[in-house]
Amino acid sequence: MHKFDVVVIGAGAAGLFCAGIAGQRGLKVLVIDHSEKVAEKIRISGGGRANFTNKDVTPANFLSDNPHFCRSALSRYTPKDFTALMTRHGISFHEKHKGQLFCDRSAEDLITMLLAECATGNVTRWQPCSVKNIAFSASGAGSYTIDSSHGQINTPQIVVATGGLSIPKIGATDFGYRLAQQFGLRMVAPRPALVPLTFDNEAWAPYAHLSGLALPVQIEVGAKKTKTAFLEDLLFTHRGLSGPAVLQISSYWIEGTPIRLNLAPEVDLPPALARAKATSRKLIANELAQLVPSRLADAWAGQDPAWQKPIGDATDKALAQLAEKLARWELTPNGSEGYKKAEVTAGGVDTRDVSSQTMESKQPGLYFIGEVVDVTGWLGGYNFQWAWASGFACGQALSLSSPSPYAPN
């Protein structure tokens, strides 16, 4: 029987980070992962450069059934703490759009750093290693017996860092959710988030030829108090809509409800079209192409015979309707591209059953960190920041077996 102070299941962002912190505190840590490689999602993130955090992180950048849950961990481990760690490891980075921080060279640098942090501590890693069964014995202080492909392990503490369901082909599983349910913890139903949205073929046919077109838009769902809006880039695809605008809103979109788009958020269309009507003899599509991308202008003007004429001949009503159709395009997706394309999984282990201070669940000694928990960040580095912050809170809270032969002098 192998004995460890803590077993971390999942060698991804949260698991490796937490293991390094616990190992450096003197705990004897085992990390196991069923994949051969560590941290595949870090490797493929941010186009290979990992958008590893965001300069401006607040709880408002996260979705959860309990929006306050993430506050404590996020305040105790900030983006500045993580960038300071990167600087200590000599990893340079740069800011892109809206506070998003990326590695200058490669996401591999981040993985090397996480492994180096583990190597500084007392961390053993078994990969590939699968978990067949976990049993809890309440006798004494309580301990777990893990039946793994490397043999039986005894430990008083388990950290579940197995992530969500997105991208199954690189190792995502529902392990964490099943384990939570095995120990009677509640779940918030998982769903794909940060994902492209799709439309039924017939409804999408008039727009399919716009595939590849990208433009800034305002996108929103909901109404009044539930309204959520983003100003971001939209991308037309063969099957529907993608790009940062749609990925962001997809996390808030409820099946069967519409999304609304302003395709010209930076232009006040009615006066712009009225001015053109007074001075121009060009076709409406050509005038519109001064205000929005020309492919979009052609496609929109082509939708109604009243818009296929010189702008000087158009009625005020027709121009008002054209402006309205561009500024308030409402359409209802029939679904999303699903876990195959989703960057994250919303929902997960219900935070009502997890401590926001330590990430320990109501099941003694069983901790949940990272994406497996019902905390989902916006696009822009927020999900990695949650992995670091929740991993830190947990890594600090795990207890040393006393007396531990591994504690530093």
Interface residues toward ligand FDA, by CB under 6 A? 9-15, 33-35, 41, 44-46, 50-51, 130-131, 161-163, 166-167, 171-173, 175, 343-344, 370-372, 381-384, 387
Rounded to 5 degrees, what are φ and ψ at 364?
Answer: -55, 135
As a whole number of angstroms, the distance between CA 54 and CA 357 comes to 22
Q: Which is nearer to ligand FDA, 199 or 378 (CB)?
A: 378
Q: Which is nearer to ligand FDA, 43 or 295 (CB)?
A: 43
Q: Which is nearer to ligand FDA, 241 or 389 (CB)?
A: 389
Secondary structure string (H, E, C) spanning the chain: CEECCEEEECCCHHHHHHHHHHHHCCCCEEEECCCCCCCHHHHHHHHHCCEEEECCCCHHHEECCCCCCCHHHHHHCCHHHHHHHHHHCCCCEEECHHHEEEECCCHHHHHHHHHHHHHHCCEEEECCCCEEEEEEECCCCCEEEEEECCEEEEECCEEECCCCCCCHHHCCCCHHHHHHHHCCCCEEEEEEECCCEECCHHHHHHHHCCCCCEEEEEEEECCHHHCEEEEEEEEECCCEEEHHHHHHHHCCCCCCCCEEEECCCCCCHHHHHHHHHHHCCCEHHHHHCCCCCHHHHHHHHCCCHHHCCEHHHCCHHHHHHHHHHHHCEEECCCEECCCCCCCEEEEEECHHHECCCCCEECCCCEEECHHHECCEECCCCHHHHHHHHHHHHHHHHCCCCCCCCCCCC
Q: How far is the CB of 43 from ligand FDA (least distance, A)?
A: 9
Q: Which is nearer to ligand FDA, 307 or 382 (CB)?
A: 382
Q: Among candidates 97, 98, 61, which has minimal Cα distance to 78?
A: 61
Q: How far is the CB of 341 from ligand FDA (least distance, A)?
A: 8
Q: Which residue is nearest to ligand FDA (CB)?
A: 12
Q: How far is the CB of 140 from ligand FDA (least distance, A)?
A: 27
Q: How far is the CB of 232 from ligand FDA (least distance, A)?
A: 15
As a whole number of angstroms, the distance between CA 125 and CA 32 comes to 6
Q: Which is nearer to ligand FDA, 171 or 243 (CB)?
A: 171
Q: Which is nearer to ligand FDA, 36 or 202 (CB)?
A: 36
- Under 8 Å between Cβ of 290 and 264: no
Q: How far is the CB of 107 from ligand FDA (least distance, A)?
A: 8
Q: How far is the CB of 15 from ligand FDA (least distance, A)?
A: 5
Q: Which is nearer to ligand FDA, 318 or 369 (CB)?
A: 369
Q: How far is the CB of 342 from ligand FDA (least distance, A)?
A: 7
Q: How far is the CB of 54 from ligand FDA (least distance, A)?
A: 8
Whole-number CA gyration radius for the chain: 25
Q: Which is nearer to ligand FDA, 240 or 380 (CB)?
A: 380
Q: Which is nearer to ligand FDA, 46 or 243 (CB)?
A: 46
Q: How far is the CB of 339 from ligand FDA (least distance, A)?
A: 9
Query: Amino acid identity of 206?
Result: P
Q: How far is the CB of 11 from ligand FDA (least distance, A)?
A: 5
Q: Which is nearer to ligand FDA, 343 or 353 (CB)?
A: 343
